[in-house]
């Protein structure tokens, strides 16, 4: 590869990162936006990958100003945009910046093979994630989602990365609520036998206190009592009604 041009990678923030000659080819990736200034033709080329971020592409208009600021002695006569998925003008572009068509094609082919391989792995984890969700295995589902996120980062699929981060955050919140609910249900299940014993021993004060605690807990989780627990609560209500009847006679 000859030194026929200046090459830059455009960052998401719109800044330009100059590429060394040995790293130019490896930056032809579908998510990248590259800028080349050809010395001989004085043409500024914008190479846009097929999955380049829309907001990053919007920064193209600023590249000339940035390059002129870094190299005030340069003259830009024309602007040409090259799209990865198109073949128009590709040979002239590559010749102007000193890259062979064979090397370029090989690089794109290698990257696409890598993308296909990564997306294949992502699909496997998506199936695993969905199966875990069906079984309410939230920790395992989050683990699957995190694997997807890491794979998406490898191919710079920012939309999928954001989707999985949001998914994991939502699942963490859901798990917190479920854990809290299960903790309360566990506490209720400990109080139910105490309520039953207080009914058997005719301890009205303990029974009333336990019933109030249990009722409040069920309200917190907005849930009806399980069949076994409802039977004890119904037994309490009958016990309390009989106690009130006896008190009213006295």
Which pLDDT tens digit goes with each residue over 126-138? Answer: 999 999 999 999 9
- pTM of the complete model: 0.76
- The arrangement of strands across the sheet holding 5-10 comes to 16-18, 5-10, 33-38, 43-48, 78-83
Cα separation values, 99 from 21, 93, 108, 236, 245, Å: 10, 9, 13, 86, 98
For 57, how many CA atoms within 13 A lie in the half-sphere containing its CB? 13
Q: In terms of pLDDT, which residue wins out, 66 or 187?
A: 187
Q: What is the average pLDDT score of the chain?
A: 93
Note the helical H segments in 90-157: 90-97, 101-134, 138-154
- Tokens representing 123? 């699909």
- What is the C-alpha separation between 164 and 175, in angstroms, rounded? 16
Question: Taking a C-beta distance cutoff of 8 angstroms, is the pair 51, 111 a contact?
Answer: no
Q: Which residues share a beta bridge with 224?
A: none
pLDDT bracket for residue 249 (50, 70, 90): low
Q: What is the pLDDT of residues 93-112, one digit of tens each?
A: 999 999 999 999 999 999 99
Predicted pLDDT at 207: 94
């Amino acid at each position: 590869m000859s030194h026929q041009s200046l090459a830059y990678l455009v960052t998401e923030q719109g800044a330009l990162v100059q590429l060394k000659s040995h790293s130019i080819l490896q930056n032809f990736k579908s998510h990248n936006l590259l800028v080349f200034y050809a010395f001989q033709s004085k043409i500024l080329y914008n190479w846009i990958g097929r999955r380049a971020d829309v907001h990053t592409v919007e920064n193209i208009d600023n590249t000339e100003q940035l390059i002129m600021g870094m190299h005030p002695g340069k003259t830009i006569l024309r602007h040409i945009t090259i799209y990865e998925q198109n073949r128009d003008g590709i040979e002239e572009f590559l010749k102007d910046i000193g890259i062979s068509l064979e090397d370029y094609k090989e690089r794109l082919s290698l990257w696409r093979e890598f993308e296909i391989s990564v997306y294949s792995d992502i699909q496997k984890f998506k199936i695993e994630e969905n199966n875990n969700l069906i079984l309410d295995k939230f920790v395992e589902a989050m683990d699957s989602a995190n694997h997807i996120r890491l794979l998406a980062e490898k191919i710079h699929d920012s939309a999928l990365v954001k989707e999985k981060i949001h998914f994991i955050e939502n699942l963490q919140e859901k798990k917190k609520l479920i854990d809290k609910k299960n903790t309360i249900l566990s506490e209720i299940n400990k109080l139910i036998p105490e309520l039953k014993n207080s009914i058997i021993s005719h301890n009205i004060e303990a029974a009333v206190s336990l019933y109030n605690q249990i009722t409040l807990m069920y309200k917190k989780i907005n849930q009806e009592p399980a069949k076994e627990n409802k039977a004890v609560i119904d037994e309490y209500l009958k016990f309390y009604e009989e106690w009130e009847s006896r008190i009213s006679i006295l």
